[in-house]
Amino acid sequence: MQLSLIKPQGCATPFLRHLLDFRVYQTRQRSQSCNIACTVIRHRWMKRAPVFCTHITTNKMISTQADKESIDMSKFPVERIRNFSIIAHIDHGKSTLADRLLEITGAITTTDKNKQVLDKLQVERERGITVKAQTASLFYKYQGQTYLLNLIDTPGHVDFSYEVSRSISACQGVLLIVDANQGIQAQTVANFYLAFEAQLTIIPVINKIDLKNADPERVEKQIEKVFDIPTEECIRISAKLGTNVEQVLQEVVKRLPPGVVANIALFGGYLSKGDRIVSAYLGKSYEVNELGLLRPDEHPTDRLYAGQVGYVIAGMKEVKEAQIGDTLYHQKHPVEALPGFKPAKAMVFAGMYPMDQADYSALRSAMEKLTLNDSSVTVQRDSSLALGAGWRLGFLGLLHMEVFNQRLEQEYNASVIVTAPTVPYKAILSSAKLIKEHGKEEITIVNPAQFPDRSVVKEYLEPMVMGTIITPDDYTGKIMSICLNRRGVQKNMVYIDDHRVMMKYLFPLNEIVVDFYDLLKSMSSGYASFDYEDAGYQAAHVIKMDILLNGKPVEELTTIVHKDRAYSAGKAMCERLQDAIPRQMFEIAVQAAIGSKVIARETIKAYKKNVLAKCYGGDITRKMKLLKKQAEGKKKMRYIGTVQVPKDAFINVLKRKDK
Amino acid sequence: MLKAFLTAARGPTVCLGRCFSSEVSGAVSKLAGFSSPPFSTEASLYVHWPYCLKRCSYCNFNKYIPRSDNQDVMLECLQRETETLLKLSQVSRITSVFFGGGTPSLAHPAAIAAVLETVARHAGLSEEAEVTLEVNPTPIGSSKLENFLHAGVNRFSIGVQSLRDDDLKVLGRDHNTQHALQTIAEARRLCPGRVSVDVMFGRPGQSVASWELELDELLSVCDDHVSLYQLTLERGTQLFSQVQKGQLSVPSDDITAVMYESARRILQNRGYLQYEVSNFARNGAISKHNMSYWKASQYLGVGPGAHGRFVPHGEGGVCREARTQTLEPDVWVREVQQRGHGTRRRIPLTHLGLLEEVLVMGLRLIDGITHQHWQLFSPRADLHQILSSSSEVQDLQQTGLLILDDRGLRCSWQGLALMDSMLPTLLLELEAHITQGLQQQARVSGGPHHPGAPAAGQGVWRPTSPRGSSSRPGCPA
């Protein structure tokens, strides 16, 4: 038996839980053997646990779950298991369809309240997005047979394509959802290729046919043209109203190959409660205290057999013990560790520091939990004169960074300073001394503070991406102009139907990483879509720019900019800071500087009057409340010298607004 | 469980200060003149008349256009609630009464007399007690002034707002400049030296020059007291939406700051001393009633939406409560008829909460907070202890905005206009000091003990509910 950990995931579980539970699904297909291999995709732990207790009352745990109905997993041979994933462009209705599928199969009851059932994180519900892939086991009766359908709901935003690719690798097929109104979008294309390259069966589903402007016929034609899938293969549905959703399940059963690859690949073995399993990474052994299915909440069973998605609660004491990519095997049958997943590549780096250095260790613990939970974040210790000890983290994109930050705040109650995101630049060193110091000629710079001076550098390199933009042709002119403005070079342009254009642009990553997506959306009234992939490095003339408040550098805002854009970028930053920082009792000079040379300046004038005229009829309460709120807010201000800066000012400042 | 334990650990600390002041308050009150001590048997009284004839375009205060004449019911309920709250507070002397609104000058003078009689019947109301009535300067209001005087009112506060007819229209007032001038003259004839005028700046379309001219005109006709208020655009008002839509524009913050400064200068030149952020008086004609708010004295609030701050001694209470009456007049009337009062919300003030009010209100005064005044509320931690070590407070002192010296804590002339920018800093220092003190006390007192079981060495600590009412535990920490 073999289990491999790929993806632990923390959820805000309402009840305290000392044990880690693992949600497992298998990643690889094997022929008959006596091993079970399963892959842990996520685990949970108690919210805001200060430490993971080593003494665990497992009995209690089990007894609380004992009343749940047991499912005999041996009833599901491989032939009656299907593993599938839903992939789509953001907002095309993945989570809604998932809700309907859960309802139809009785996993959850049918009510109006089922919205984004699988989106369990607060950040997901607030933003209406899916960040983490989620799994649920569905039982579906078709032609007298009960099938086990393992559904993996995936994120839609470009930042999280890593999550999508991992989900896909565990499936035999995908439902490719396309909005009947919007048609194929950039991520539809990206996701299609992920599934296509993984040689999965693709079932195109045209959603939102209930919309007034729905044009499923046009979308079917697009699908045929772009993906070469016959129009007859498309299923037209309305996930919102439930129209034809049943058909989707039938097609999953009919079209997808059986789920041999699923969860625990049972090669003649099985996993039961009480088994001892060993972590190949740590060499520690654990007893399986509980295991079961996710539908979508935990549903304990006695055993899990081949092809089944489920979770395991073993006696792991610390989050660290559940390492991503680890392989777990039966104690009596040691195996070689399964090859892990290729780690995601960080595109954006930012420093994170505790607001107050006294909170360093609390933040470290929160950070450890969250990074373990989100393996796509890379972590490096970092420290700065102004901000103290902290970390330099690598993210998949800006949304990913914001989500991470929000989860730190919401799930761990941590308060952090986030620095300006930067992309990983490279420098070819010319100084022999530095080359010796680094042991190599080419270094990667993820922290602007460590940007080497021009005098010791032969050449700077910046990361490039190949961007795909799909848009109605009404907006091509505008979009081409903003692409040019972002130093984009057009590589390709084709019509995918009568009105829609697909363009390929080579961009410097730093030009698109912060706000390009938002800009593109607003510029095209939401119609254009965007996705990108890594395209190596190119030589570029880049320089370091500092932002000063009353002469004091704001370390969070130090950025690396292209030389030709330094002046306009500096001016724009100063203008936005001027808007973002509230007036104070003294005048504030906002400056951008390259080295010692100031290239832009704005002034925030001092407050001349700030006092409430009167408290009507002795109503102090209202005024006190306001003042207390301001006092609370002040605690969360960042001080640059004596200047108070609201925490969110910096991130807002970084978002460019092209005119 | 945990919470109970914490309260128990903190309880004695707070009460040390409080019980102490409570015991000495009588003596101190004599020493401190009219600056009422916090726990005395005195209070001022605010009476809210919720009705207006017309809605002013800038006003979001609690007022209603009456659907029918229900003055009798209103009067009956105001009397009833006054009686209830007087009994509850057990104050023996009302130092001042303020009839505000709404438009209290719409009330029958007999109604005002009846409320005052109720006060006199259930608590002392001396001849000298200041009794102010807010007056809308309409011809009807003006004609009733003499009757109000006979009813017991001895100070008029006239809502002039502006001496520009066009502006009065924009503000939605139901009077014109002529009416205002007549009302001022009549009030001065009846109550010389005890008439105040309210005037507003920062009005739509106003310039600094026109404001200065207008203020000059006003000062040549007014009495010894002027309140000037900057127009604040409140959400939900007609004026707010007009400005939002761009139909009207109000002067920028920088302009209103200049208006405020020039008004302060003009008033000073004309012999009016500023004694509070918005209030100016000559010949010592300060408003005693409003002064009691700024000195954080006790006050009872009667009428729909009225606010009060007092200790409900009558039911065994020992800490001051922030009380709010039910807003909506019809509901309030029903409640008063059913249970004698329309108190909708009562929040016991913590030691910190009370000190915060002392600080916020006291700093509005030009004389600020004297050490003696602060000590009445905080016998254990003086202003130096609380504030002197803070570098931010030191910065404020160095920039000349804030003064902390042997007299006490106050804003400078320049600092007074920026007070709301300084208060968050001061409030945070206060909070830090008080919570730190509590933690130290908890440590000294040796950790958990049962509520009500005084730890050894806590001499002054005693059970917090003298009448054994379990529903009113000690003041929250």
Residue B185 is predicted with a pLDDT of 97
Residue A281: Cβ within 10 Å count: 18
- Taking each continuous run of H as one helix and of E as one strand, the counts in chain B are 17, 15
**What span, in angstroms and rounded, lies between the C-alpha atoms of B133 and B91?**
22
**Is pLDDT at A162 greater than 70 in this prediction?**
no
Cβ-Cβ contacts under 8 Å, A613 against chain B: 229-230, 232, 277-278
Which member of B324, B360, B431 has the closest CB to residue A623?
B360
Cβ-Cβ contacts under 8 Å, A585 against chain B: 399, 401, 418, 421-422
pLDDT tens across A559-568, in order? Answer: 899 998 899 8
Report the gap between the CA of B453 and the closest CA in chain A (Å): 34
B66-72: list long-range contacts, CB under 8 Å, 24+ apart. B70/B333, B71/B107, B71/B108, B71/B111
pLDDT tens across B283-335, in order? Answer: 999 999 999 999 999 999 999 999 999 999 999 888 999 999 999 999 999 99
> Measuring CA to CA, how many Å separate A68 from each of A64, A302, A475?
9, 12, 55
Give the mean model confidence (pLDDT) for residues B42-62.
Answer: 89
DSSP string over A212-270: TT--HHHHHHHHHHHH---GGG-EE-BTTTTBTHHHHHHHHHHHSPP-TTSBBEESS--
When pLDDT is cut at 50, 70 and 90, the band that residue A531 belongs to is confident
What six digits make up the tokens of B242? 């007009």
Strand B321-325 and strand B130-135: the pairing is unpaired
Work out the burial of residue B459: count CB atoms within 10 Å of its CB; fewer than 13 is exposed, 13-18 middle, 19 or more buried.
Answer: exposed
Report the gap between the CA of A451 and the closest CA in chain B (Å): 35
Chain A interface disruption, residue of B95, B254, B289, most A CBs within 10 A: B254
Q: What is the 3-state secondary structure (H, E, C) of A26-77?
A: CCCCCCCCCCEEEEEEEEECECCCCCCCCCCCHHHHHHHHCCCCCCCHHHCC
Cis-peptide into A472, omega within 30 deg: no
**What span, in angstroms and rounded, lies between the C-alpha atoms of B131 and B95?**
9
Residue B413 is predicted with a pLDDT of 94
Contact state of B277 with A623 under an 8 Å Cβ cutoff: no
Which member of A608, A616, A621 has the closest CB to residue B322?
A621
Residue A65 is predicted with a pLDDT of 29
**What span, in angstroms and rounded, lies between the C-alpha atoms of B145 and B190?**
8
Which of the two residues, A634 and A268, has the higher pLDDT score? Answer: A634
Contact state of B423 with A631 under an 8 Å Cβ cutoff: yes
Residue B456 is predicted with a pLDDT of 37
Contact state of B356 with A624 under an 8 Å Cβ cutoff: yes
Q: How many residues does chain A have?
A: 659
Contact state of B278 with A633 under an 8 Å Cβ cutoff: no
Residue A381 is predicted with a pLDDT of 86
**What span, in angstroms and rounded, lies between the C-alpha atoms of A441 and A428?**
6
**What span, in angstroms and rounded, lies between the C-alpha atoms of B410 and B428?**
17
pTM listed for this prediction: 0.61
**Is pLDDT at B31 greater than 70 in this prediction?**
no
CA B325 to chain centre: 15
Which of the two residues, A13 and B223, has the higher pLDDT score? Answer: B223
Which segments within A367-475 are labelled E, that is strand?
378-384, 388-395, 416-418, 425-429, 442-445, 457-472
Which of the two residues, A419 and A659, has the higher pLDDT score? Answer: A419
pLDDT tens across A306-341, in order? Answer: 656 567 776 665 545 655 456 677 888 777 765 544
Residue A120 is predicted with a pLDDT of 59
Give the least confident one: A390-404, B237-251, B273-287.
Answer: A390-404
> Measuring CA to CA, how many Å separate A151 from each of A81, A154, A465, B220?
11, 10, 32, 83
Strand A36-44 and strand A2-5: the pairing is parallel
What six digits make up the tokens of B291? 């002064």
Which member of A609, A615, A620 has the closest CB to residue B256?
A609
Which member of A614, A616, A627 has the closest CB to residue B423?
A627
DSSP state of B262: H
**What span, in angstroms and rounded, lies between the C-alpha atoms of A319 and A307?**
26
Residue A444: Cβ within 10 Å count: 12
Phi, psi of A465, deg, nearest 5: -135, 155
Binding-site residues on chain A for chain B (CB distance < 8 A): 583-586, 605, 607-621, 623-624, 627-628, 630-631, 633-635, 642
**What span, in angstroms and rounded, lies between the C-alpha atoms of B285 and A298?**
75
Residue A505 is predicted with a pLDDT of 96
- Give yes or no for a contact between A479 and A524, defined as CB atoms under 8 angstroms apart: yes
**Is pLDDT at B271 greater than 90 in this prediction?**
yes
Residue A341 is predicted with a pLDDT of 40
Residue A7 is predicted with a pLDDT of 32
pLDDT tens across A393-437, in order? Answer: 988 888 888 888 888 888 888 878 888 888 999 999 998 888 998
> Which residues make beta-bridge pairs with A310?
A24
Report the gap between the CA of B193 and the closest CA in chain A (Å): 23
Which segments within B3-52 are labelled E, that is strand?
42-49
pLDDT tens across A355-393, in order? Answer: 888 888 889 888 887 876 676 788 888 887 778 889 999
Contact state of B257 with A620 under an 8 Å Cβ cutoff: no
DSSP string over A261-320: TSBBEESS--EETT-EEEETTT--EEEEEEEEEESSSEEEESEE-BT--EEEEE---SGG
Alpha carbons within 13 angstroms on the beta-carbon side of residue A443 total 21
Contact state of A613 with B422 under an 8 Å Cβ cutoff: no
Cβ-Cβ contacts under 8 Å, A616 against chain B: 61, 100
Which segments within A128-228 are labelled E, that is strand?
134-142, 145-153, 173-179, 201-207
Chain B interface disruption, residue of A603, A619, A637, A642, most B CBs within 10 A: A619
**What span, in angstroms and rounded, lies between the C-alpha atoms of A531 and A469?**
7
**What span, in angstroms and rounded, lies between the C-alpha atoms of A518 and A656?**
10
Residue B108 is predicted with a pLDDT of 93
Contact state of B356 with A610 under an 8 Å Cβ cutoff: no
**Is pLDDT at B115 greater than 70 in this prediction?**
yes
Which member of B395, B416, B427 has the closest CB to residue A627?
B427
Helix (H, G, I), strand (E, B) or coil at A361: helix
**What span, in angstroms and rounded, lies between the C-alpha atoms of B105 and B100?**
9
**What span, in angstroms and rounded, lies between the C-alpha atoms of A225 and A494?**
12
Chain A interface disruption, residue of B307, B309, B361, B434, most A CBs within 10 A: B307
pLDDT tens across A450-507, in order? Answer: 899 889 999 999 999 999 998 999 999 999 999 998 999 999 999 988 888 999 999 9
When pLDDT is cut at 50, 70 and 90, the band that residue B266 belongs to is very high
- Give yes or no for a contact between B146 and B105, defined as CB atoms under 8 angstroms apart: no
Tell me which H or E stretch contains A15. none
**Is pLDDT at B416 greater than 70 in this prediction?**
yes
Helix (H, G, I), strand (E, B) or coil at A421: coil
**Is pLDDT at A154 greater than 80 in this prediction?**
no
Residue B451 is predicted with a pLDDT of 41
pLDDT tens across A594-604, in order? Answer: 989 999 999 99
When pLDDT is cut at 50, 70 and 90, the band that residue A651 belongs to is low
pLDDT tens across B89-109, in order? Answer: 999 999 999 999 889 999 999
Residue A139 is predicted with a pLDDT of 85
Chain A interface disruption, residue of B418, B426, B431, B435, most A CBs within 10 A: B418
Burial B238-248 (b: 16+ CB within 10 A, else e): bbbebeeeeeb
Chain B interface disruption, residue of A587, A608, A635, most B CBs within 10 A: A608
Tell me which H or E stretch contains B388. none
Work out the burial of residue A259: count CB atoms within 10 Å of its CB; fewer than 13 is exposed, 13-18 middle, 19 or more buried.
Answer: buried
Contact state of A609 with B418 under an 8 Å Cβ cutoff: yes
Q: Pick from A96-100, A420-424, A443-447, B114-118 the range whose average pLDDT is largest.
A: B114-118
**What span, in angstroms and rounded, lies between the C-alpha atoms of A639 and A635?**
10
DSSP state of A144: T
Phi, psi of A85, deg, nearest 5: -130, 155
pLDDT tens across A191-226, in order? Answer: 888 788 777 889 999 999 999 999 999 999 999 988
Mean of the per-residue pLDDT values for chain B? 85
